[in-house]
Structure 1
Amino acid sequence: MWLCLAVLVGLYYLLRWYREKQVVSHLQDKFVFITGCDSGFGNLLARQLHLRGFRVLATCLTEQGAEQLRNQTSDRLETVILDVTKTESIAAATEWVKERVGDRDFLKELSYFWVKVAMIEPGYFKTFVTSPEAISWGLQAAWDQASPEVKELYAETFLASGMKSVGLWETKCSQDLSLVTDCMEHALTACHPHTRYSPGWDAKLFYLPVSYMPTFLVDLMMYWGASWPAKAL
């Protein structure tokens, strides 16, 4: 009985491995559009997919970031400046993409495939977003915009507690960004991509299990680990 079970489990993982290794053909003829390529995940993914043979259309917020990325790659990677908070910038980038891809090519590309969405849910990784400077700035900005009533309720000690914990988050961040971009690459290139990716041990062992837990248990966990206002509601 146990032998049969072991064989079935082995066959399951063998089939799974085989399916995951099947890759979409003619990658060199395909375009991929990536935002936020100045640094972090976007920058690494753009360079990674460029090496795989994709024709990469990378957007950057600054000309400096765009130039650095172009210098690291070939003419198969093109850049455009994009500020996703500005409508006119989005419209200009859209026209730029159409000039390179064309509406007809885009529709032809989609006509052979179902459009599939893959969720990438990473744990904490060391990027600008998780840097102490960015988090501290966000906390201070939120505090500065708060009303006098809210500030009185929470008091300066609440802000100080948040600022103190900022440095602790950095020590928990993984520096291996490829764990995330490898998942992105697999989602784009695999014939059978996963529906959900959870790169990072903290995502696999904590955040993913927590997402399946009842809401009241999650609230209880947050309750015991959170800072509290000086004046209870």
Structure 2
Amino acid sequence: SLNVKDLNGKHVFITGCDSGFGNLLAKQLDQRGFHVIAACLTEKGSRELLACTSLSLKTVILNLTDPSSIANAVEFVKQETDGEGLFGLVNNAGRATPMAPTDWMQIDDFHTILDVNLMGLIEITLKLLPLLKKAKGRVVNVASVMGRLAFLGGGYCLSKWGVEAFSDILRRDMQHFGVKVSIIEPGCFKTGVTSSEVIERDLLRLWNQLTPEVRESYGDKYFVECKAQRFSMKRLCDSDISKVTKCMEHALMAKYPRTRYGSGWDAKFFWLPLSYAPTLLSDMMLRMLLPTPAAIY
């Protein structure tokens, strides 16, 4: 419950601030007196955030798949911090699609997610580490509790599992320099990442590009049930995203931040306990949640 003293005016850099967790966190930290540097993917997201925050909040356009965009954002942060160092880095930006069975995917589909969720996160973190070490700051990485179970096919869980591993390695390496690293593991929340329209559209794209043999092995019923499952998961998503941003705030402000934060009722009472269960049990439970391919019958 103890907080770090003299946080007013400290610089915090947040990625993925167009909407969702990053957008809300930027507003909350701005109200608390932090100097927030919010990275947005679009000019529209940047304008909308600037319109409802104080003059001390700054925005920068960041595309984590573009090395030159990352370099420009890092230079912007260096100029804004002006030798003081960076107190907080919140790696929130990410995407969920394509999300489908493994043999529906092409290698480019994996790159689409990994380049943002994992490789982009690693690159921006490495380039900002000197500033974080100077300020003995905090790194907050957004993973996923479902990533620990590899529940959903495609590159999403793969990328989030990678974020967990990178965070653990970084935490151990940076403890000698006073930099603390925390992992946020949200359950299912209503954000742009969990948009059923986007997920369904991408699922249809992958289904249409399958070979006849693969499509026959799954069957039309599987595709219909898969879409229905994504829709039912959307209905179960929690709309109160402040549960996640409160965890992010604690990771930044607490004198003794946690290593991991499970956010949401489903994370705490289902996904996290299941991740510690024997593999035989977790596999059986997860199989019950997913449709069965036609070739199994």
Q: Which residue in the other structure is 2:134 paired with?
A: 108
Q: Which residue in the other structure is 2:181 paired with?
A: 117
The answer to which of 48-57 and 128-137 deviates more is 128-137
CA distance in structure 2 between the aligned counterparts of 1:69 and 1:205, rounded to whole angstroms: 34
Looking at both structures, which has the greater relative contact order when contacts are Cα pairs under 8 Å and sequence separation is at least 6? 1
Gaps of 5+ in 2: 86-130, 138-175
CA shift, 1:145, in A, is 3.9
Q: Which residue in the other structure is 1:54 paired with?
A: 34
Q: 1:104 to 1:72 in 2, by over 3 A?
A: closer
Q: 1:190 to 1:104 in 2, by over 3 A?
A: closer
Q: How many residues align?
A: 213
Q: Which residue in the other structure is 1:65 paired with?
A: 45
Q: Which deviations, in whole Å up to 9, do the C-alpha atoms of 1:30-64 show, x marking residues without a partner?
A: 11110110100000000011111111010111111
Is 1:41 the counterpart of 2:21? The answer is: yes
Is 1:215 the counterpart of 2:279? The answer is: yes
What residue identity is the alignment partner of 1:100?
E
Q: Percent identity?
A: 49
CA distance in structure 2 between the aligned counterparts of 1:66 and 1:46, rounded to whole angstroms: 11
Gaps of 5+ in 1: 1-19
CA distance in structure 2 between the aligned counterparts of 1:44 and 1:171, rounded to whole angstroms: 21
Q: Which residue in the other structure is 2:149 paired with?
A: none
Q: Which residue in the other structure is 2:4 paired with?
A: 24
Q: Which residue in the other structure is 1:8 paired with?
A: none
CA shift, 1:103, in A, is 5.5
Q: Which residue in the other structure is 2:216 paired with?
A: 152
CA shift, 1:135, in A, is 1.9
CA shift, 1:122, in A, is 1.3
CA distance in structure 2 between the aligned counterparts of 1:104 and 1:182, rounded to whole angstroms: 26
Q: Which residue in the other structure is 1:167 paired with?
A: 231
Is 1:99 the counterpart of 2:79? The answer is: yes
The alignment partner of 1:23 has SS state of: coil
The equivalences for 1:171-186 within 5 A come to: 171-186=235-250
Q: 1:104 to 1:45 in 2, by over 3 A?
A: closer
The alignment partner of 1:213 has SS state of: coil
TM-score by length of 2: 0.67
What residue identity is the alignment partner of 1:118?
S
CA shift, 1:29, in A, is 2.9
What residue identity is the alignment partner of 1:56?
V
What residue identity is the alignment partner of 1:90?
I
CA shift, 1:141, in A, is 3.0
Q: Which has the higher helix share?
A: 1
CA distance in structure 2 between the aligned counterparts of 1:202 and 1:118, rounded to whole angstroms: 20
CA distance in structure 2 between the aligned counterparts of 1:73 and 1:36, rounded to whole angstroms: 16
Q: Which deviations, in whole Å up to 9, do the C-alpha atoms of 1:39-97 show, x marking residues without a partner?
A: 00000000011111111010111111101101111121100111112122111111111
CA shift, 1:184, in A, is 0.3
What residue identity is the alignment partner of 1:70?
L
Q: Which deviations, in whole Å up to 9, do the C-alpha atoms of 1:86-123 show, x marking residues without a partner?
A: 12211111111111124663343128962222121111
CA distance in structure 2 between the aligned counterparts of 1:42 and 1:210, rounded to whole angstroms: 28
